[in-house]
């Protein structure tokens, strides 16, 4: 898969799978948990052994944008039999929840350690063009709409500001015994994404949701790239 964007175009797709999205972002130097495609339970186990347990299995389908909604995410699988069980359960629940989706298999990736979940995204505004979004994960974005925006391309100063503008910023500074997040790593990732979308004008939407932030570094565990209609 040398050029996932070209591959998606050739298929007439605008949604890149997580495997494709991460491979493209990894090439741009963005820290992701590499997602390896496996087309059978046996292959998933083989990949898991190479990656090292615990692992995460996710459904791979260009027809499914939100994998958890269809039972397409299995976390923290500690051994081969857990991977096998998750594989068959996932195929069953995805078939039930999304019967029309064409499923290319599963992706296998490392289970990242817990940290603070944030979202780094990009959408195309009809007036302003590419706009970056930053927020804290989970209810902060979905319920409280606690997000900040900046027009692409971002300068280092914009990356500093977009993080500090959200109401939930104190969470990243560390509260109630929670460690502080590596803000420099988040700023770097925001700037890398800004540069990536500047270099790829055909990308209409991008979501790193979530990025897990640690006291030392940050890693995107989910990624979704959407191309503009041709
Ligand atoms: P969805 O398509 O539903 O957004 P995600 O890939 O984001 O699926 O997975 C759902 C949730 O599972 C994430 O929000 C995150 O909390 C957790 N998760 C996903 N991948 C990993 C991983 N590699 N390590 C740890 N947690 C993960
Ligand atoms: Mg996600």
Nearest CA, atom 15, ligand 1: 210
Q: Answer yes or no: are the C-beta atoms of 227 and 14 closer than 8 Å.
A: yes
Q: Which atom of ligand 1 is nearest to the CA of 33?
A: 23
Tens place of pLDDT for every residue, the chain, 230 residues? 578 999 999 999 999 999 999 999 999 999 999 999 999 999 999 999 999 999 999 999 999 989 999 999 999 999 999 999 999 999 999 999 999 999 999 999 999 999 999 999 999 999 999 999 999 987 777 777 899 999 999 999 999 999 999 999 999 999 888 889 999 999 999 999 999 999 999 999 999 999 999 999 999 999 999 999 98
For 183, counting Cβ atoms within 10 Å of its Cβ (0-12 exposed, 13-18 middle, 19+ buried), the class is middle
- Helices 156-165 & 183-199, crossing angle to 10 degrees? 120
Looking at the DSSP assignment, which residues form a beta bridge with residue 120?
A: 134, 208
Smallest CA-to-CA distance from 227 within 31, 2, 37, 6 is with 6
Q: What is the pLDDT of residue 202?
A: 96
Q: What is the pLDDT of residue 1?
A: 54
CA dihedral sign, ordered 159, 164, 166, 171: positive
Q: Is the CB of 15 under 6 A from ligand 1?
A: no
Q: Which atom of ligand 1 is nearest to the CA of 210?
A: 14
Structure tokens at 63: 């027809």
Q: Is the CB of 36 under 6 A from ligand 1?
A: no
Q: pTM, whole model, 2 decimals?
A: 0.96
Residue 109, helix vs strand vs coil: strand
CB under 5 Å of ion ligand 2: residues? 209, 222
For 33, counting Cβ atoms within 10 Å of its Cβ (0-12 exposed, 13-18 middle, 19+ buried), the class is buried
Q: CB under 8 Å to 17, separation ≥6 — which residues?
A: 60, 61, 62, 104, 107
Q: Is the CB of 67 under 6 A from ligand 1?
A: yes
Ligand 1 centroid to residue 127 C-alpha, Å: 32
């Amino acid at each position: 898969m040398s050029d996932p964007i070209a591959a998606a175009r050739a298929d007439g797709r605008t949604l890149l799978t997580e495997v494709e999205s991460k491979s493209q972002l990894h090439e741009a130097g963005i820290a992701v948990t590499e997602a390896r495609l496996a087309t059978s339970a046996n292959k998933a186990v083989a990949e898991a052994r190479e990656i090292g347990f615990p692992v995460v299995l996710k459904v791979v389908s260009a027809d499914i944008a939100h994998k958890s909604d269809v039972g397409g995410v299995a976390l923290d699988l500690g051994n081969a039999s857990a991977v096998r069980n998750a594989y068959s359960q996932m195929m069953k629940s995805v078939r039930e929840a999304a019967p029309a989706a064409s499923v290319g298999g599963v992706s296998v990736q490392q289970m990242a350690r817990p940290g603070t979940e944030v979202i780094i995204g990009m959408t195309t505004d009809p007036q302003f063009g590419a706009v970056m979004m930053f927020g804290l994960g989970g209810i902060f974005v979905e319920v409280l709409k606690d997000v900040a925006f900046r027009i692409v391309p971002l300068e280092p100063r914009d990356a500093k500001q977009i993080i500090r503008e959200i109401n939930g910023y104190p969470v990243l500074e560390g509260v109630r015994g929670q460690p502080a997040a590596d803000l420099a790593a988040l700023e770097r990732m925001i700037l890398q994404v800004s540069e990536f979308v500047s270099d790829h004008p055909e990308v209409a939407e991008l979501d790193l949701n979530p990025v897990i932030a640690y006291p030392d570094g940050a890693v995107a565990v989910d990624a979704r790239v959407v191309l503009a209609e041709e």
